[in-house]
Amino acid sequence: KIVYFNTIKKNQPKIHKINFKNIIGLRSDNSFGSVLLFNNVVLKKVFNEYQALIEKGVGSQYIHTFLYQLMFLKYKDLEILKFNEKIIDVDLHYYKYYVEDIFELYYVARKKFSDLLLLCGDMENEYRKIIISKDKKILKNAIKEIVCLKAFNVFNYFSFFGCFKLFFSRAKFIDALIIFLFFIILHVVPTSIIKYFYKLFIDLKYKKESKLIWENILVVYTKMSRGDRRLIC
């Protein structure tokens, strides 16, 4: 049996509160769809209050995280509870990864929601700083995911020039240029070298937690990458 992600924390009670800053900053496992349970009454109020913002986000990936960020920014006195026990087991999903899909998921969608959140009128400076800090990491995280595709030999894309066009049409010029430079480098450098240095990066950055993190990465890019379905339909 393969366990990709376990949300249960051994040192915490069965029901506990989640820190408000972690919700706004999308930290830990708070963005997992399987652990979300919306208050429908409050959610309807959010739809009415932020209809224009939400309509701009419709059709983008991760909109569920955008909705609950809006909900808690508007209603800061809401209690955020987490059930720290196994409620459901979800089977692994299998996909065929493409550079274009990774770019859309990890750069385009997250940039869009970051920009939309900063337009929210109920944003305090403390939370604005959290979102801006998160926004600065979007480019780096997108590149990291594309590097993973190469490291695990699932560096698929539909068109080289299509990627070039996509990067420069959907990203800021400097971001697009950086992503495209990495894209070219990944064509030249052998997979084994990319994998070696990526493993070294994980070991140096996460130290004691590196083994668990590496095992999760292996599941995503060696097990879950065996499907035929795209990440974005």
Q: Write the pLDDT tens digit of every residue in 180-192.
A: 999 999 999 999 9
What 86-93 contacts at long range (C-beta under 8 Å, 24+ apart), as own/partner pairs, is: 86/8, 88/34, 90/34, 92/2, 92/4, 92/219, 92/223, 92/224, 93/224, 93/227, 93/229
Give per-residue pLDDT as tens, 3-57: 666 667 777 777 767 777 777 776 655 445 445 566 788 888 888 989 999 999 8
Residue 220, helix vs strand vs coil: helix
Note the pLDDT of residue 216.
87
High-pLDDT (> 70) share of the chain, %: 89
